[in-house]
Amino acid sequence: MSGHSHAKTVARTKDANNQKKGQIFSKIARVITVAAREGTDPATNYKLRQALEEAKKFSMPKENIERAMKKGSGVMEGEQLSEVFYEALGPNSVSLILDGITDNKNRALGEVRQILQKHNFKLANEGSVKWQYDQKGILLINLKSQGLNPKTKEEMELISIEAGADDIKWFQEEGEDYLEINAKPENIEAVKKNLEEHGLAIESSSLGWVTKEEIEVSGSDKEKLERLFEDLDDSETVQNIYSNLKN
């Protein structure tokens, strides 16, 4: 729930209806299940720790979390889940990286291909898009959600740089200002800790894909892409969407 970006997913789900929340819980449960295969201790399992933070942020019921953990650890029987990764190309040189989780790779591939074709995108060969991106730690901070000791934009930028950020940028989503902080994957935990020690509340943190070069599209084309992103968000398979669009 990142890249196109994570903030869009966060903003959309603040006022999500029950059906939408059910879809979100289902997706988070799959992430927890897959992550728990590598151990059930969040202190030593970064992926699980991030998934549990997402679950907490969206007020996912405790029993859902525990059930997903048990499936991942093998205590409870569950579907055989696999991680999937897609690259896609569309009009105006727009590129996408999608990652997801599925219990049926063939069905998932067909579903994603159908959504892309509906919006004049096509699946790309492995590696033909990925080279345009770097894997980064991605942290998001909402300017409004800074608690009792809010900082100015300039203060937040300075704190982020001192905390070890490789890159920072501001963008607006749903009328709210977000600061996106990129860090080396191996540094994301240290950067996050430094930010929190300086009193900044982290909206989300994850590993994801950041484009090396952003592109801009016209207003009408951007609206078309929003419809594509909404359809991908609604997909049972797709977990995260990353694009080279400028926010």
**CATH assignment at residue 54:** 1.10.10.200
Residue numbers of the domain that contains 227: 82-131+213-243
pLDDT of residue 186: 93
pLDDT of residue 19: 73
Q: Pick from 63, 64, 34: which is nearest to 50 by CA?
A: 34
- Give pLDDT tens digits along the chain (247 positions): 344 454 555 555 555 667 788 888 999 999 999 999 999 999 999 899 999 998 998 889 999 999 999 999 999 888 899 999 999 999 999 999 999 999 999 999 999 999 999 999 999 999 999 999 999 999 999 988 887 678 899 999 999 999 999 999 998 887 888 999 999 999 999 999 999 999 898 988 889 999 999 999 988 999 999 999 999 999 999 999 999 998 7
In terms of domains, do 69 and 185 share one? no
In terms of domains, do 218 and 234 share one? yes
Distance CA 54, CA 205 (A): 9
Q: How far is CA 190 from CA 74, 97, 160, 195, 245, in A?
A: 31, 26, 12, 9, 28
pLDDT of residue 78: 82
pTM, entire model: 0.90
In terms of domains, do 38 and 149 share one? no
In a domain, 1, yes or no: no
Question: What is the number of structural domains in the chain?
Answer: 3
In terms of domains, do 140 and 201 share one? yes
CATH assignment at residue 180: 3.30.70.980
Looking at residue 224, its amino acid is K
In terms of domains, do 147 and 123 share one? no
In a domain, 159, yes or no: yes
In terms of domains, do 119 and 224 share one? yes
In a domain, 147, yes or no: yes
Looking at residue 212, its amino acid is K
pLDDT of residue 125: 96
Q: Pick from 129, 164, 141: which is nearest to 242 by CA?
A: 129
In terms of domains, do 40 and 13 share one? yes
In terms of domains, do 230 and 183 share one? no
Structure tokens at 216: 């801009």
pLDDT of residue 203: 87
